[in-house]
Amino acid sequence: MSELTLLILQFAFLALLWIFVFVVVYAMRSDLFGRRVKKLPDAQAAGAAGPASAAPVAAVSTNTPPRQQAPVPQSKVPTFTPLEGSSAGTHPRATTGNASRLVITAGTKSGTEIPLGTMPLTIGRSTDSSVVIRDDYTSTHHARLMVWNEEWMLQDLDSTNGTFLDGKRVTSPVNVPLNTPIKIGATSFELRR
Amino acid sequence: MNGSSPVIEASPLVPDAGRGIRRIRVPQKLRNLELFLLIVACGINAFAVVLVQLGAIGAVDSTVITLGASLSVLVLGMHVALRYVAPNADPFILPVAAILNGIGIAVIYHVDLINGDTGWDSTAIRQVVWSAIALICAIAVVVVIRNHRVLQRYTYVFMFVAFVLLLLPMLPGVGQEIFGARVWIHIGPFSFQPGEIAKILLAIFFAGFLVQRRDTLSLVGRKVLGVRFPRARDLGPIIVIWALSMSVIVFQRDLGTALLYFGLFVVMLYVATGRTSWILLGGGLFLAGAVIASQTLTYVNDRFNAWLDPFSQKNYDDVGGSFQLVQGIFGLANGGLIGTGLGRGRPDITPLSQSDFIVSAIGEELGLAGLFAILCLYLLLIARGLRISFAGHDDFGRLLGVGLSFVIALQCFVVIGGVTRVIPLTGLTTPFLASGGSSLMANWIIVALLLRLSDTVRNQPRLVI
């Protein structure tokens, strides 16, 4: 073995080591740098169909996803807030005993339910969240629903655009009342019996 | 908490017959990524052994097969086990640990070649056997512990066992003193460092204990200069752990282990309570202990002198002086930017270049470029551990994940910092690289626990919007 061959092999080994490091970094890029925002295929389809909803921002600002403008309850979400605020005290706190499901009330998946157990739920754009919300307004790790002393608590994980419980921005962990809207980006959901 | 992990199937969740709820992560995809990375890692490991042979003896013989292939077979076995018992586990941890272990074996093998050790005398062969035992332990941990919350149930049992393990080397029959440190036990032909296993048990105990007690440790206290300090009566746990660490320094004469246990507790306390005052208190306590120890204990004082002034002739010549440290630094200097090449350096000049000083051996043969790649691999491994803890669901699992990853991080810092003269030299092993069965076993068990935690994290109801 000549010196030159050994030197070339040495360079090859170092290069291979670094390639391995970068392959690992590339494979975990979404965890390191946050997940890329992808436009929903449905929103694009709807955008192609009607010029009014072409801009997703405009569609979201009215809090009504482009594809579902007909159902009444969703367009009412903004006007809901003062009513709910005044009657918030009447809603009992959600506990593991009385809340059995999480219902999406506004957004593209409106009407969908998830059964609630006692395990906490994480919400965000990252793929390891329990509820993955992929829109322009959601942070990678946005919020968390967790159980403290058998009561459901909502915690904002320092998200950019905020988590709103009954129209008020959540800054520290708060108790979640039943049937009260929690809004993240363009999606609202409630805990129900 | 029940043992089964709730996975929601797509159909019952969709009342509005739209697009179904998709499981966006297909489990096998993760495992296939792991398999790909593992094959690359095993290739690099085999390449390293071939390079050592070409550089040192100029030919390739059959030792390559025993050293290169046996570890590959074992890690692939672990991969297969994960496919069945933890299909959602993190795909990066196993390949990174495998490549670190393999490069360690290659460098140890080179020192063996120079010393002329063959057969059972060869440290590399023993390291391969220990890797096998460690990996079998790791597979057993993943298979047996299907739910990490089981560990929380035995919080205080783990504490008791950890203390017994720490005390074992002090027993006159089995304890053994090597290079001044009394941290080994010796049974028959085997010697073992029980402190390595104790660090995992302590991490489990700290996690269980802090989950129960953190409210008292975090909510009350008086504010001084904008930092909320705990009440005097809540200082109990930190004082106990500090006393434990100090007694390790005094009786077992092992600085590194003491720093490891105390640092682990302080960081887990900080993560559990979120209060800076614990870091301030812990740092202050440790500094006070270190200063007292350096003034009163000769061996600590020697280490400090060797650290502050290694190149003076007196320190260099002294017994327990800076000879080893300086040789390690000479080795690093000899390596330079790209190293002498695997199998072509002289790592044997530094005493203990197979275990404590393996970092300087790697720095000599692979250079700065290679050593930084190794550090990046550690960084990736630790980042994965912290990431798993961050995404965790139960507080016990989250704290445990932080503790286990931080043990690896702190150990790397203490060893590599000691060899490169950032901090005084202490006798800890470099995780996965250094020769030593107990260390390998402990670190592979940590890997197994992190894999188990990551599998639980991903196994949850999932809805994609």
| Nearest CB to A132 within list B37, B393, B463 | B463
Concatenating the DSSP letter of every residue in A101-112 gives EEEEEESTTTT-
| Nearest CB to B465 within list A11, A14, A107 | A107
The average pLDDT across A156-182 equals 87
In a domain? residue A33: no
**Which one, of A130, A136, A121, lies nearest residue A187 by Cα?**
A136
What one-letter code names the amino acid at A165? L
**Which one, of A172, A192, A193, A188, lies nearest residue A80 by Cα?**
A188
Phi and psi, residue B372, nearest 5°: -70, -35
SS3 state of residue A122: strand
Phi and psi, residue B427, nearest 5°: -90, 80
Among all residues of chain B, which has the CA nearest to that of A185? Answer: B465
pLDDT of residue B226: 64
- Give the sheet arrangement for strand B190-192, strand by strand: B175-178, B181-187, B190-192
pLDDT of residue B459: 61
B131: Cα within 13 Å, side-chain hemisphere: 32
pLDDT of residue B24: 46
Across the interface, whether the CB atoms of B391 and A126 are under 8 A apart is answered yes
Q: Quote the CA–CA distance of B305 and B303 in Å, as a whole number.
A: 5
Across the interface, whether the CB atoms of B47 and A1 are under 8 A apart is answered no
**Which one, of B288, B354, B321, lies nearest residue B109 by Cα?**
B354
**Which one, of B403, B369, B405, B398, lies nearest residue B92 by Cα?**
B405
Closest Cα in chain A, distance from residue B167 (Å)? 39
Q: Quote the CA–CA distance of A132 and B13 in Å, as a whole number.
A: 15
| Nearest CB to A21 within list B377, B383, B390 | B377
pLDDT < 50 positions in chain B: 1-27
CA–CA distance from B271 to each of B218, B310, B390 (Å)?
Answer: 11, 37, 11
- The separation between CA B282 and the C-alpha centre of its own chain, rounded to angstroms, equals 22
- Domain extent, residue A132, equals 101-192
In a domain? residue A180: yes
Structure tokens, B205: 């105990």
In a domain? residue A134: yes
What one-letter code names the amino acid at B184? W
Closest Cα in chain B, distance from residue A51 (Å)? 23
pLDDT of residue B219: 67
Residues of chain B found within 8 Å of residue A140, distances taken between Cβ atoms: none
Across the interface, whether the CB atoms of B342 and A10 are under 8 A apart is answered yes
Residues of chain B found within 8 Å of residue A109, distances taken between Cβ atoms: 18, 463, 465
Across the interface, whether the CB atoms of A1 and B54 are under 8 A apart is answered yes
Among all residues of chain B, which has the CA nearest to that of A24? Answer: B92
Across the interface, whether the CB atoms of B15 and A111 are under 8 A apart is answered yes
**DSSP letter, residue B20:** P
Closest Cα in chain B, distance from residue A86 (Å)? 30
| Nearest CB to A24 within list B92, B344, B366 | B92
Q: Quote the CA–CA distance of A175 and A94 in Å, as a whole number.
A: 8
Across the interface, whether the CB atoms of B373 and A14 are under 8 A apart is answered yes
| Nearest CB to B92 within list A28, A141, A187 | A28
Residues of chain A found within 8 Å of residue B22, distances taken between Cβ atoms: none
Q: What is the largest CA-CA distance in chain A?
A: 85
According to DSSP H, which parts of chain A are helical? 3-27, 29-33, 41-49, 56-61, 72-75, 77-86
Across the interface, whether the CB atoms of A25 and B380 are under 8 A apart is answered yes
> Of the segments A10-19, A62-71, B339-348, which one has the largest average pLDDT value?
A10-19
Among all residues of chain A, which has the CA nearest to that of B367? Answer: A14
Q: Tell me what ipTM this predicted complex has.
A: 0.85
- Hey, of A3, A10, A28, which one would you mutate to test binding to chain B, going by the most B CBs within 10 A of its CB? A10
pLDDT of residue B427: 77
- Give the sheet arrangement for strand A101-106, strand by strand: A113-115, A101-106, A187-192, A182-184, A163-165, A168-169
| Nearest CB to A13 within list B47, B96, B387 | B47
**Which one, of B223, A14, A10, B173, lies nearest residue A1 by Cα?**
A10
Q: CB-based burial of residue B154 (10 Å sphere; 0-12 exposed, 13-18 middle, 19+ buried)?
A: middle
Total residues found in chain B within this entry: 465
Across the interface, whether the CB atoms of B373 and A21 are under 8 A apart is answered yes
Among all residues of chain B, which has the CA nearest to that of A23? Answer: B37
Residues 6+ apart with CB under 8 A from B114: B56, B346, B347, B348
Across the interface, whether the CB atoms of A24 and B37 are under 8 A apart is answered yes
In a domain? residue A119: yes
Torsion of CA B155, B158, B160, B161, to 10 degrees: 170
A109: Cα within 13 Å, side-chain hemisphere: 24
Q: Quote the CA–CA distance of B25 and B22 in Å, as a whole number.
A: 9
Concatenating the DSSP letter of every residue in B378-438 gives HHHHHHHHHHHHHT-SSHHHHHHHHHHHHHHHHHHHHHHHHHTTSS-----PPTTTSS-HH
Structure tokens, B214: 């953190």
Across the interface, whether the CB atoms of B8 and A113 are under 8 A apart is answered no
Among all residues of chain B, which has the CA nearest to that of A144? Answer: B393
- Give the sheet arrangement for strand A151-156, strand by strand: A174-175, A151-156, A143-148, A121-124, A131-132, B463-464
The average pLDDT across A13-33 equals 86
Among all residues of chain B, which has the CA nearest to that of A130? Answer: B462
Phi and psi, residue B16, nearest 5°: -100, 35
Across the interface, whether the CB atoms of B462 and A132 are under 8 A apart is answered yes
Q: Do residues B457 and B464 lie in contact, with contact meaning Cβ atoms separated by under 8 Å?
A: no
Residues of chain B found within 8 Å of residue A11, distances taken between Cβ atoms: 338
Across the interface, whether the CB atoms of A16 and B44 are under 8 A apart is answered yes
SS3 state of residue A70: coil
Beta strands in B74-179 (DSSP E): 175-178
Residues 6+ apart with CB under 8 A from B243: none
Across the interface, whether the CB atoms of B25 and A127 are under 8 A apart is answered yes
Closest Cα in chain B, distance from residue A70 (Å)? 15
Closest Cα in chain B, distance from residue A40 (Å)? 9
If one counts the domains in chain A, the total is 1
Sign (positive or negative) of CA dihedral A39, A41, A43, A47: positive
pLDDT tens digits, A35-59: 555 555 554 444 444 443 333 333 3
* Chain position carrying tokens 């220990």: B130
Q: What's the CATH number where A134 sits?
A: 2.60.200.20
Phi and psi, residue B39, nearest 5°: -65, -40
In a domain? residue A173: yes
Residues of chain A found within 8 Å of residue B42, distances taken between Cβ atoms: none
The answer on pLDDT for A76 being more than 80 is no
Residues of chain B found within 8 Å of residue A10, distances taken between Cβ atoms: 51, 338-339, 341-342
In a domain? residue A80: no
**Which one, of A24, A126, A91, lies nearest residue B391 by Cα?**
A126
Residues 6+ apart with CB under 8 A from B246: B258, B289, B293
Residues of chain B found within 8 Å of residue A115, distances taken between Cβ atoms: 8, 13, 461
Residues 6+ apart with CB under 8 A from B398: B389, B390, B392
- CB-CB neighbours of A8 under 10 Å: 11
Q: Quote the CA–CA distance of B380 and B401 in Å, as a whole number.
A: 15
The answer on pLDDT for A101 being more than 50 is yes
Q: Do residues B229 and B284 lie in contact, with contact meaning Cβ atoms separated by under 8 Å?
A: no
Q: Quote the CA–CA distance of B48 and B68 in Å, as a whole number.
A: 9
| Nearest CB to A112 within list B14, B99, B367 | B14
The answer on pLDDT for A146 being more than 60 is yes
Q: CB-based burial of residue A138 (10 Å sphere; 0-12 exposed, 13-18 middle, 19+ buried)?
A: buried
Residues of chain B found within 8 Å of residue A28, distances taken between Cβ atoms: 92, 380, 384
Across the interface, whether the CB atoms of A14 and B387 are under 8 A apart is answered no
* Chain position carrying tokens 């150990």: B411
Q: What is the largest CA-CA distance in chain B?
A: 82
pLDDT of residue B241: 80
Residues of chain B found within 8 Å of residue A128, distances taken between Cβ atoms: 25, 391, 457-458
Sign (positive or negative) of CA dihedral B14, B16, B20, B22: negative
CA–CA distance from B295 to each of B249, B286, B288, B299 (Å)?
Answer: 13, 14, 11, 10
Q: CB-based burial of residue A175 (10 Å sphere; 0-12 exposed, 13-18 middle, 19+ buried)?
A: middle
pLDDT of residue B23: 45
Among all residues of chain B, which has the CA nearest to that of A7? Answer: B341
Closest Cα in chain A, distance from residue B339 (Å)? 9
